[in-house]
Amino acid sequence: MEWYWALTLLLGLATALMMTGLPVALVFLSVNILGGMLFLGGFSGLGLMVRNGVQSLQNYSLAPIPMFILMGEVMLHTGMAGAAIAAVERLIRRVPGRMPIVSVVSGTMFAALSGSSMANTAMLGSTLLPQMLRQGYAPQLAIGPIVAVGGIAILIPPSALAVLLGSLARMSISELLIAGIVPALIMALLFVAYIIVRSMMGGDAKAPDTMATGESLGRRLWPFLRDVVPLFGIFLAVVGSLLGGIATPTESAAVGVAASVLAALLYRRLSWANLAHSVMQAAKISGMLLFIIVGSTTFSQILAFSGAASGLLRILTALELTPLQVILIVVAVLLVLGCFIDQVSMMMISLPFFIPMAQAVGVDLIWLGLVYLLCLEIALITPPFGLLLFVMKGVAPPEITLGRITLSVLPFLGIQLAVLALIVVWPGSALWLPDLMFSR
């Protein structure tokens, strides 16, 4: 079979199965079984596929994924994250668009403690959104920041998705985790700047009066010192051990889990019930991701054996593309895919093609990985199938429609695209930090 027919068959079948609503892991299992029969030598090929799948899970670099997920689940289910958000809300005063700014600050902070975009959006949506609507904030200002800041968890360590990307693409996980910090902070600052300007303009994005309450600074500062500052120790334990070179990503993830459990114990929020629930939720999510990793590895091997990957790569390399042109192709493809499929599927479909192409023209893999993470983040809020749009719909009051949620996030989607353009045109704006830390 010619490589282009093999490519059409494999990608076409995967796309058709996804459109039926079948879970991603089962989609690629089905495609891999057919591909194994056709391109790996029939039933003997299926045995090879199973052995290769088992070997793909014996990769030590995958170990941080379940631990980062468990760390976020402990923060969420013990209530430490909710207490920290309430403390931030009491501290910020006399700022136009105060509550939307609280959502951005809290979301960025929780992203640095959990690494879960869905948990970030669900928590802020269920706690802060009803409060903002009651206070008279326009839905454009109340909804948009919560949905947009949820995706920052993909960029800021600890990010399980960054670890997954680094493992699948054979990138340096430590460098990739650190590279996401600067773009995330730039994005959060631009969110805050937009909220302030939009609140001062008024119009259809009205914000209530932001005069301070009668509470003294000391009364407002104490909850922040009690419920927020100690939690930064968890972030420092994870990122500091990476930056200091005293721990691998796996070891820093283990330190993060231990620190989050210890914090919950010291706050007297830890119980056998919430600990067991956190472990069960982390096990479910980790099991799903590891199942997907097996499918991704096998899918890449089948593409290689069928000749589809090498055939397409020959055409692209014959065009003598520059590194920037390759990055622009990656961005264009990922932004289109992000309108229709989830983040893990985007990686599984595209990485077997883009990694060899990038290596062939000398693209910096950390630059490529950072562009991937930004595109995956943008896909979370891209209509019509952005995952965080549906998460917000699930926790928002019934009168908030999906259309209103989509319109509310469009300005923030524009900000995310601007940050992506900055990283594409000027990669040094983000890569200076991993260059500094790891002497690349």
Burial class from Cβ neighbours inside 10 Å (0-12, 13-18, 19+) for residue 262 reads middle
d(C-alpha 66, C-alpha 253), whole Å: 9
Q: What is the mean pLDDT of residues 199-203?
A: 75
**Mean pLDDT, rounded, for 411-415:** 95
Whole-number average pLDDT of the chain: 82
Q: Over 80: is that where the pLDDT of 106 sits?
A: yes
* Overall pTM surpassing 0.95 (yes/no): no
Could you tell me the residue range of the domain that residue 131 belongs to? 3-438
Burial environment of residue 52 by CB neighbours within 10 A (0 to 12, 13 to 18, 19 or more):
middle
Q: Which of 48-57, 81-90, 231-240, 376-385 has the highest mean pLDDT?
A: 376-385
The set of residues, in sequence order, having a beta carbon less than 8 Å from that of 120 and lying 6+ positions away, is: 107, 110, 111, 114, 149, 150, 152, 153
Produce one character per residue of 20-37: b if its CB has 16 or more CB atoms within 10 Å, e if not: eeeebbebbbebbeebbe
**Token digits of residue 322:** 């520059």
Q: Is the pLDDT of residue 75 over 70?
A: yes
**Phi, then psi, of 191 in degrees rounded to 5:** -60, -45
Asked whether the beta carbons of 293 and 167 are under 8 A apart, the reply is: yes
Write down the pLDDT at residue 58. 67
Over range 113-141, report the average pLDDT: 81
Lowest mean pLDDT segment, chosen from 16-20, 97-101, 207-211, 419-423:
207-211
Higher per-residue confidence, 84 vs 385: 84
How far is CA 63 from each of CA 138, 165, 226, rounded to the nearest angstrom?
Answer: 43, 13, 32
Residues 6+ apart with CB under 8 A from 321: 329, 357, 361
| pLDDT tens digits along 152-184 | 989 988 788 888 888 888 888 889 989 999 999
- Check residue 68 and give its pLDDT: 80
Number of domain units in the chain: 1
Whether the predicted pLDDT of 2 surpasses 80: no
Q: How is residue 237 annotated by DSSP?
A: I
C-alpha 372/C-alpha 61 separation (Å) is: 19
pLDDT over 60 at 204, yes or no: no
Percent of the chain at pLDDT > 90 equals: 22
Q: What is the pLDDT of residue 364?
A: 92
The pLDDT of residue 261:
92
Higher pLDDT pick, 405 / 48: 405
187-191, 195-199, 226-230, 234-238 — most confident range: 187-191
